[in-house]
Structure 1
Amino acid sequence: MQTAYDVFHGAPSDISSSIDYLDAFHTDSSTEPQVRLALTHVASMQSWLDHHKVQLTRQLLALASTTPSIVPQQVLASIGNITRTEAFREVNRANTLRQFPSLEQAFVDGRISSAHIDAITRIAFHLDDSARQQLTDRGAWINTIATHATPDNFARALKSEVARIHNDDGVSVLERQRTDITLKHWVDRESGMFCVNGRLDPESGLRFIGRLDNTVEQLFHAAVPTNCPTDDRKHGHLAALALVALVDGSALSSSSPNSRAEVSVVIDLHTLTHGLHDKSVIHTGHDVELPIETIRRMACEAEIIPVVLDSKGVVLDIGRASRLATRYQRKALEVMYPTCAIAHCNVPNAQCQPHHIRYWRDDGTTDMHNLIPLCPEHHRCVHEGGWKLSLHGESRQLCVTYPDGRSLTSSPTDTARKDLLYDIS
């Protein structure tokens, strides 16, 4: 299959060829492979445009250094018809590529995207000069990881490298985050409603989200309020009601099994016992990092459920998780499938439901060999769209057979699992 890099570097007239291809493309009558190829041409053009925008932004910054009346962010926002926030992001990308020149050529070649640049920009922003220089000195390593990883995976690897630079497994970062927590509230004049905004350090945030999710489950498992939205606002609506219930003290009693936050942290055994190594696995279920010592302490205090993996990614233990079958199985499925089990689907596991490969009505058992997580869309494809599923072997190879007879075989490593088992060597 062609990639954006292949299209971008096929011939000197790559961009002209892509424009001609897309201009003649008939979207309404196209097949899936044709759409994929068209999107590859779009991606190559986007890489070309992003590179030139960085070059022009860099020139604006140079001109502004000698001509104070030139404000790069204002020029970018007005001419590009973008927000000031987006304009600042463009400036930050140009500055980041100047600080990390090893990424420049990969960006020019289309091997990495603007999202990769944004990832390292966010992480470098919080470093002092010494730590930033140490990260810059790892230029070859950064380039290798960036060109072989998704932006999310790249960000995780960078965070682990920053922990190594601080030589404290991330403890100093967590301490700075703890001093930076904040909460503010105000009344929106148009709606007359209270607005709340804040940020929490990873440890506090995981406890907060875990408690909130448990409360949503306890209050609304059987039924949701009659006025609850049915669109994308549903989750936020229920979370707000749960938060109010927690503040009122009407949600959970201290004796309730759900009164404490239930948070799972996936970690490999070697990291848990000996600290970070080249192929460490630490996954909180959210885009935050916890130091090893914090995970160990929270596990001892039963504030988290440590899900421990062996060197092959197989679940060894699920800590203090309830032994009720459905909860145990959900935890195990969450570890193996951070997203929907269908390959290339990025819907988080939290928004999926366990699906019986052999239907319950057909005497299918509620056992791990018969369960996979499916998002609502793919659940409909199976039940109403005629998709046939089968699960094979210890590797859990999933075969999807479509109504037209085509089939696709994948395993958990073909979903988002590859974004969890990253290599930081």
Structure 2
Amino acid sequence: MIDELVRADSAVATCADAPVWALSEHDLIAVLDATHRLQQRLAAVQVAAVRELDGRGTAVAQGASSTAVWLRHRLRLDVSAARRLVGLAASLDVAPPTVREALADGAVSLDQARVIADTVATVSASAGPEVADKAVGVLVEWAARFDPVALRKLGTRILDHVAPEVADAAAAAALAAEAARAARDRHVTVSEQTGGRLRLSGTLDAEAAALLRAVIDPLSAPSGPDDTRSEGQRRHDALADVCRLALRTGELPENGGDPAQLVVTTDYDGLARQLGAGALDIGLGLTPDTVRRLACDAAILPAVLGGTGQVLDMGRQRRLVTGPLRRALVLRDGGCAFPGCDRPPRWCAAHHIRHWADGGPTSLDNSVLLCGHHHRHIHQSEWAVRLGHDGRPEFVPPAWLDPDQIPRRNHYHRRT
């Protein structure tokens, strides 16, 4: 299989260098169709490999919290794309062979295959495998004419075409299955962009969507005839208002032992002279005006920095890493420090590099932030953690994973 894929890779590389400008319009369309068909066939091979890796537990064995997280790091995918790939692999694994064959033949796309697999699973549960086999043929035929969204809508009434005698009873089951899919697929992704901005994306289930609209819609209405903000800008400002309101309630859960809060690091003299820029503890830069505005209605939480910007040690007498010491740890690590993990500080606990029971002090140079999964993994595996020459955490993999045991670092939380 690997030899065949290498040959295919070489053939595609040759095509990539070919001058498409010399092709006629008819040939260009033929190239588009051929590349799309090839893409689907390769996707079928990839999905089969993902399913096998997931079944073997390869990702967890190599220190990842899930196959999706491992794929994101291995293939440099967006985390939502990695989750979709794992979900599709699981769906096709239990789908009739006809669905996998259609994908391998290039007759359906990945998204269409997911819709067909989900629809057939619902039909099989409500009307039996024989009716499900009929549904597969109809859905594959429809896939030649309809995109995944339209195909899913048509699939809700597939029994009207293949088994009308049970269609009404199955419609209720289809609604329940759709609710289950919505619960499974719900997620929100927060991605860092340049300049300290964040990009939000995700899928909300019906209940969360209704809650969001109920909160956002009134706040995103134009404030008057002179309001020049776009619709998207008004929704952005409404979301910021909702977050401010939530912070002011005082009812948010505690964050690693501290109440929920914004922590801004800045130079006090610069702040007093209205010249000092600042940074949030999650690494986002703030203008001097923003720092001063936040200081008007938020507590100033001082962090003592060394000459190189390193947070100085704060407290050695306590076992629990809380208060100023935890804030110093968050400023240094930025989140879970295990290589490839993007868990933010609020999901992390402080790990003693040298265990407290072994005489290890509760100090900055003996602590590292780890999410729950990697905290357990460090305690239960052969990975070792230490601070590098620059005072940043680095992790030494076990010899079975890397015979050279070259130290690894987390680069997701780097700010410079």
> TM class, shorter-chain normalised?
0.3 to 0.5
TM-score of the pair, normalised by structure 2:
0.42
Task: Flag the structure with more relative contact order, 1 or 2, with Cα contacts below 8 A and sequence separation at least 6.
Answer: 1
Larger Rg: 2
